[in-house]
Structure 1
Amino acid sequence: MDHFSRSWTALLAAVEGLPDKDFGRPSGCAGWLVRDLVCHLVIDAQDVLITLVTPEDAEPTVDAATYWKLVEPPTGDDPLDALIPRLAAAYEEPRLLRFHLDDVGRAAGRAARLADPAARVGTQDEVLTAGDYLSAYVIEWTLHHLDLVAHLPEGPEPPAETLAAARGLLERIAGTAFPASLSDRDALLVGTGRRAPTAAERAELGDLAGRVPFILG
C-alpha cells in the first residue's frame, strides 16, 4: 500500500508540474495525447474511490497479480477508449483538467491511506482484499507515469522503488522473470509493448521475446 501511495503521489505531482503546452503532446499510449491520458487518470481515480466503498463478504477470487488479465492489443474500437479523447477535449483548458485530477486524485489517495488492507472489496465481478487491489494499481500508475513523460525528455520519472514493484508484479502476471540485464524501466516498457526490444535485448530475452508484449486489461 506504500507503493500505491508513492506511485500515485508521484504521478499526480508529475501532472501538476506539466506546462499547458505539453497537454497537446503525444503520450506513450498509442493514439492518445497527454491530455487524453490525464483524463483517463481521472476515471481511474474514480474507479479507486468506487471500489474502496464497495465491500464484499465473499472470499477473494483474485489477488494483485490475477486481478489483471492478459488481453489482445487494443484496436481503437472500444467505446470507452474512443470516449476519452472527446471528454479530454471538452475540458478546453489544461488547468480545468489538472484541477479535476487533483481534486479526485487526492481523494483517492486519502481513501487508499484510510483503507483496511484486509477488507474485501468488489470490482469487475471479482472480489479481492483492499491491499491487493491497491497493490494491483501500482503497475497502472507506474506505466501511465512512463506514458506521461514518454515524449517529454525533462519529465520526472517514476520513483525507483515503484518501478521495481511494478516490474515484480508484471513478472508475477507473466509467470516469468525478465533478464536482470534489463532495468526496471526497460523491462516495463518492453514487457508491455511500449517499445520494441533492441537486438541485444531480444537476445537477452530468449524465448520470452516471443511472448512479449503482455497487454494488461
Structure 2
Amino acid sequence: MDLFSHSWTALRTAVAELPDKDFEQPSGCTGWLVRDLVCHLVIDAQDVLITLVTPADTEPTVNAVTYWNVEDRPPTGEDPLDALTVRLAAAYEEPRLLKFHLDDVGSAAGRAAELADPGARVGTRDVVLTVGDYLSAYVLEWTLHHLDLIAYLPDAAEPPVQGLAHSRATLEEIAGAAFPASFTDKDALLVGTGRRAPTEAEKTGLGELAAKLPFVLG
C-alpha cells in the first residue's frame, strides 16, 4: 500500500514539475507525446477509483502477477483507444489543464488507496483480486509509465528506487526467469518490456531469456 502511494505520488510530482514545452516531447509509449501519456494517467486514476469501489464476493481469480496479460506484439499507437487518448489530450489545449485534472483525480485515487482494506476483493477487467494485489500490480504500471514520461526528458526526476526494484521482481515473476545481476532495475524493465533493444553484450548476458523478449504487458 505504501509503495503504491510512494510511486504514484512521485509520478504525479514529476508531471507537475514539467515545463509546458515538455508536453510536446515524445514519450516512451509508441505514438504518444508526453501530453498523451499524462492524459492516459488521468484515465488510469479513474480506473483505480472505479475498481476500489467495485467490490466482489467471489474468490480471487488473479494476483498481482497474473493480473498482467502478455500481449503478442508491442503497441503501434494505432489502437482505437490509443487514438482516442491522443484526441482527448489535444482537447485540453493547455498543459496546466492536464496538470490540474491529473492532480485532482490522481489525488483522489491516492486517498482512496490509502483508505482501502488490502484484504477486500474487487473486480476489474473481468477478474477478481484483493485490493492489496491490485495496488501492488499498479506499482508496475506507475513505474513503467514514469520511465515512459522521462524517456526523452533527461532532467526529469527518476522513479523511486523501491518502485523500480518491486517492478523488476514482478516482471521476473511474469517472465519466469531472473534478469542478469549486471542489469540495473531500470534497464531490466526497459529491455524486458521492449522499451529499448538490448545491446549485444546484454543479449549475451540474457542467454535463453533473450529469445522470449519483449514482455508486452496489457
> 1:154, 1:21 → 2: CA distance?
13
Aligned pairs for 1:1-217 within 5 A = 1-72=1-72, 73-217=74-218
Unaligned runs of 5+ in 1: none
The Cα shift of 1:78 comes to 2.0
The Cα shift of 1:29 comes to 0.6
The Cα shift of 1:176 comes to 1.1
Native 8 Å contact 2:165 2:185 kept in 1: yes
The one-letter code matched in structure 2 to 1:151 is Y
Unaligned runs of 5+ in 2: none
Q: Helix, strand or coil for the counterpart of 1:35?
A: helix
Aligned length: 217
The one-letter code matched in structure 2 to 1:21 is K
> 2:58, 2:176 → 1: CA distance?
27
The Cα shift of 1:40 comes to 0.2
The more displaced of 67-76 and 140-149 is: 67-76
The Cα shift of 1:2 comes to 1.4
> 1:200, 1:179 → 2: CA distance?
11
The Cα shift of 1:175 comes to 1.2
Q: Helix, strand or coil for the counterpart of 1:154?
A: coil
> 1:103, 1:75 → 2: CA distance?
30
> 1:44, 1:164 → 2: CA distance?
22
Native 8 Å contact 2:144 2:189 kept in 1: yes
> 1:44, 1:174 → 2: CA distance?
24
Residues 78-135 of structure 1: CA distance to partner in whole angstroms, max 9, x if unpaired?
2111101100000000000000000000000000000100000000110000000000
Identity of aligned residues (%): 75
> 1:60, 1:191 → 2: CA distance?
27
Runs of 4+ in 1 over 4 A off after TM superposition: none
> 2:11, 2:155 → 1: CA distance?
15
Residues 143-183 of structure 1: CA distance to partner in whole angstroms, max 9, x if unpaired?
00000000001110001111000000111111111111100
Residues 188-213 of structure 1: CA distance to partner in whole angstroms, max 9, x if unpaired?
00000000001110000001111111
